[in-house]
Amino acid sequence: MVPLSWYLILSGILFSLGVLGFLLKRNIITIFMSIELMLNAVNLSFVAFANYWNTHPVADKSIVPLSGQVFVFFVMVVAAAEAAVGLAIIISVFRTRETLNVDRVNLLKL
């Protein structure tokens, strides 16, 4: 038996580390990986709440506990699509600028 708040605190720590990486890192690929870390942290909250509502039934029948895990599935699909497009953008930025440092990439134009 683990308190639900432990899982939520772990999720919060991972999310905060993701935001810090997003703000402090200067390599565009590492910044992108920080975004993936934040998505993972949110997924942990979803799964923890799915388990919680499964063991604590509520009167409201419109709450389906397992839908938390289905949302994780959708988040993963969106993350995969985002990774494909984002890495293609990174490749095309690198092709014109020869750098991965975000401080040297200050125009949206390719």
Partner 1 sequence: MVHQVLFIVFGLICVAGAINLLVQRHPISSALSLVVVMASLALIYLLLGAEFVAAIQVIVYAGAIMVLFVFVIMLLNAGAEERTRGSRIALFVGVPGVVVLAGTVGWMLVSGSGRLGTVSISSSNFGETHNIAHLLFRDFLLPFEITSVLILIAIMGAVVLGKREN
Site for partner 1 in 4-63 (CB under 8 A): 4-10, 12-21, 23-27, 29-30, 32-34, 36-37, 40, 43-44, 47-48, 50-52, 54-56
Q: Does 105 bind partner 1 (CB under 8 A)?
A: no
Q: Which one of residues 59, 84, 107, 108 is an interface residue with partner 1 (CB under 8 A)?
A: 84
**Min. distance of Cβ 100 from partner 1 in angstroms?**
6
Exposed e or buried b per residue across 83-95, where buried means at least 16 C-beta atoms within 10 angstroms of its C-beta: eeebeeebeebee
The DSSP call for residue 65 is T
Q: Which one of residues 61, 91, 105, 108 is an interface residue with partner 1 (CB under 8 A)?
A: 91
Name residues contacting partner 1, limited to 62-81 (CB under 8 A).
Answer: 64-67, 69-70, 72-74, 76-81
Q: Which one of residues 61, 82, 97, 109 is an interface residue with partner 1 (CB under 8 A)?
A: 82
How far apart CA 88 and CA 26 sit, in angstroms, is: 19
Cβ distance 110 to 92 under 8 Å? yes
φ/ψ bin of 2: left (φ > 0), alpha (ψ from -120 to 50), beta (otherwise): beta
